[in-house]
């Protein structure tokens, strides 16, 4: 599977942010990162090469990947950053990660396994090597810690590479749990009680996106009443989870499907018309944010494939998403 694995250009900005924190010039390394736009797919071998060059700048550091990964922010993870920070609980955030992982690696490779009082996330070899793995897991745990008020820690972390004693000590101090090396898979084990923790942190990027989303929802209906607006707001929250249906929305509103359809009909709407209208308005807002790729927008709207989103958008507007984006003014 490793030949499929890659990262995004946004992810590689972790490295330039680290260079900035360390006040390192590293002109050649910065140029290598800047050669990719934030939406580019960067081969894992290229990412590993960048990290190897970074390690030569701090050869004495026992676990450089931890410092690089610790600088993670929403801008490094694209649509997933938005979704995680809009989730209610840490468990919801991990579910969002599992759904959107292929946007980063080109494939969904994480395995989620409940074991007793823990849930483990594990990954097979990805071709990036020790530094890439340490950056990824340090970023995952750091992002998790940023979203909750409590200082959470995994139960255990596994890496596939061999490590010196100094490296093991540095990793255990960072993750605040036992860290095992020479393991068959990279793994993070999380205590079940942590999954219920509410997320409390917010980011300006999320605020901007949600403000545009709220404006789009206001415009989706000519004269929306309170009920129509509540259904739309629920749709906007459920769409990224995929498989939105009238039955699921009705259940979330604690009413029967027939009642929901009747109340929409009272406003002159059908379920499909409301779904299409909401998706269209959200899509028009998302397309003005050039930090979001078309694949990310498709998933935000609940489509499993970008091609399905493209067909729907052309039916709604007469334009492809790419053509609409080209003629629209940026939203930022």
Residue 113: strand pairing partners: 120
pTM, rounded to two decimals = 0.70
Residues 6+ apart with CB under 8 A from 226: none
Classify strands 6-8 and 41-43 as parallel, antiparallel or unpaired: antiparallel
In 202-320, which ranges are continuous DSSP H helix? 204-219, 226-238, 246-252, 257-266, 271-287, 294-300, 306-317
> What pLDDT is stored for residue 205 in this prediction?
62
Q: Are 100 and 241 in contact (CB under 8 A)?
A: no
Q: How far is CA 179 from CA 157, 174, 182, 230, 248, in A?
A: 5, 10, 10, 46, 41
Q: Are 121 and 112 in contact (CB under 8 A)?
A: yes
Q: Are 246 and 231 in contact (CB under 8 A)?
A: no
DSSP-derived 3-state class of residue 184: coil
Q: How far is CA 232 from CA 127, 191, 253, 272, 310, in A?
A: 43, 35, 12, 12, 21
Q: Which domains does the chain have, with CATH numbers?
A: 60-196 (no CATH), 204-327 (1.10.10.60)
The rounded average pLDDT for each run of 10 residues, N- to C-terminus, in the chain (332 residues) is 70 96 94 89 91 94 94 82 75 80 77 90 88 95 85 94 94 96 96 88 61 59 63 80 83 89 86 89 85 84 89 94 82 42
């Amino acid at each position: 599977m490793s030949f499929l694995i890659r990262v995004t250009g946004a992810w590689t900005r972790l490295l330039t942010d680290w260079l900035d924190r360390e006040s390192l010039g590293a002109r050649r390394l910065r140029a290598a990162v800047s050669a990719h736009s934030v939406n580019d797919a960067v081969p894992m071998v290229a990412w590993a090469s960048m990290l190897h060059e970074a390690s030569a700048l701090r050869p004495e550091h026992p676990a450089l990947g931890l410092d690089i990964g610790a600088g993670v922010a929403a801008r490094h993870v694209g649509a997933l950053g938005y979704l995680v920070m809009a989730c209610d609980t840490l468990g919801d955030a991990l579910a969002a990660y599992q759904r959107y992982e292929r946007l980063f690696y080109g494939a969904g490779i994480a395995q989620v396994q409940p074991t007793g009082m823990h849930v483990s996330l594990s990954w097979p070899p990805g071709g990036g090597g020790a530094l890439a793995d340490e950056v990824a897991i340090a970023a995952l745990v750091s992002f998790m810690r940023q979203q909750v008020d409590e200082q959470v820690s995994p139960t255990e972390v596994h890496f596939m590479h061999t490590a010196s004693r100094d490296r093991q000590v540095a990793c255990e101090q960072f993750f605040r749990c036992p860290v095992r090396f020479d393991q068959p898979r990279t793994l993070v084990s999380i205590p079940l009680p942590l999954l219920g923790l509410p997320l409390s942190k917010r980011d300006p990027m999320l605020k901007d996106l949600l403000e545009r989303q709220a404006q789009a929802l206001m415009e989706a209906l000519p004269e929306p009443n309170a009920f129509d607006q509540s259904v739309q707001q629920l749709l906007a929250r459920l769409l990224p989870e995929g498989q939105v249906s009238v039955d699921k929305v009705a259940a979330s509103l604690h009413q029967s499907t027939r009642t929901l359809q009747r109340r929409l009909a009272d406003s002159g709407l059908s379920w499909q018309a409301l779904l299409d209208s909401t998706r269209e308005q959200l899509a028009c807002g998302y397309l003005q944010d050039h930090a979001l790729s078309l694949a990310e927008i498709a998933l935000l709207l609940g489509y499993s494939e970008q091609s399905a989103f493209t067909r729907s958008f052309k039916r709604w507007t007469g334009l492809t998403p790419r053509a609409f984006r080209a003629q629209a003014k940026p939203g930022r």
